[in-house]
Structure 1
Amino acid sequence: MKIDVLSIFPDMFKPMTESIIGKAVQKGLVDFSVTDFRDFTNNKHNNVDDTPFGGGAGMLLTPQPIFDAMAAVEKKAGNRGRVILLDPAGRTFNQKVAEELSKEEHLTFIAGHYEGYDERIRELVTDEISLGDYVLTGGELGAMVIIDATVRLIPDVLGNHESASGDSFSTGLLEYPQYTRPADFRGREVPPVLVSGNHAKIAEWRIKESLRRTYLRRPDLLKDIKLNEQQAKLLAEVKIEETNNDLI
């Protein structure tokens, strides 16, 4: 996958070359580059923003630097790919969106700053995405979150293909509790089933505990999931158990 970012703060993206994404770049699975669209301004002060017509607080990004920076990205890559604008008006980012984006060959992010964008910039855009109902000072952090969540889903990036498929939200449920050595840490013991060697029972326990965690912490997620027969049975058990716990 090729990932381009348009930003006036390219140094903010240096951490993206570390950890999992850095390894993906080293493996040749991801080509990551940041273009400073301030370099494309055509005014002597290199300004990328100006006051809004009609008045109002703050400054808006002007279209010229971003249009020209996008043209440079397109010329270098042969296409601009899927262009993502980080914007509070966009659809909310979640795991399903990350899975969708992970199948693309080229993603280009426009990370804005200041009060907002000149509306004409949206002509370049295929997707408008928001992290949630809050406002950041710029789109850089939002772009990093989306890139991180997306890149880790690309085949071979994590090494173990099951790592991403078992994540919270990948199945629509929260992930089950996990444990490692020691089996007994200061009197806090690992659930016996996990050290039993019975893989069928372990798999069932994980499904049940995933349902339990979702039921207790994010019951809203269950409204959008069509449970199979086993899941429905286990969830019914969870509800009875939790009701009994409340009565103790």
Structure 2
Amino acid sequence: LVCLDALKRASARRITAVIPYYGYARQDRKSSGREPITAKLLANLFKEAGASRLVGVDLHSGQIQGFFDGPVDHLTAMPVLVDHLKSLEGDLAIVSPDAGRVKVAERYAMQLGADLAIVHKRRSHSAFNTVEAKEVVGDVEGKVCVLVDDMIDTAGTICAAAEQLAERGAIRVIAATTHGLFSDPALERIAESPIEKVVVTDTLPLPDGTDPDLVKVLSVAPLIARAIDAVFEDASVSEIFGGNNLS
């Protein structure tokens, strides 16, 4: 925000803020009384500081694009993750860890020619950031299951889903996500879960001491570079992703 203000005061003609990870993205609505909508507040701050355009990667929800009063380019790390997942051997199943990510999971399944499954979850109202996975919709027995999500924070959702998949006969469980927040005790939970490996991108730095055998990092820098080039050449950003960046 300070840099944006400095550029605005230096009479920059156009300022594009590239935000690989949009902070507070999960606070995009009021889920109970007296809660802020911080994702909207952040968009207002970017605008007031001088940003005329935003570029983000895998926003938590598509509605965030409407929070900013200006153009928003919504990129997706799907091409990078799909290229890596193509190297997996075995009968593949793409798994959505909750109902909210089904649309994204369907796109992964189509790209990889894989089956689709869904884990039904319920959040605990008595404990913060606690998830209970209840049921699996779809056949995962004997399959290599890939859990796809936009972010892993404390890993409660992804680990609870992995337990359900293992109980239903999945032979391997891999997690693929764009943003690896890994708030404590995420890495410890993952290490003790059926998850064999987590594939993330470099939108965020990994915590110190992260086991490279557990977490594989892929770069989204080439994707962002192509998007920036398209923005300043007045070309279509969506064409880079074949429409898969649309929410």
Bigger Rg, which one: 1
Which has a greater percent of strand?
Answer: 2
| TM-score under structure 1 length normalisation | 0.27
| TM-score under structure 2 length normalisation | 0.27
Which has a greater percent of helix?
Answer: 1
- Higher relative CO (Cα under 8 Å, sequence separation at least 6) belongs to 1
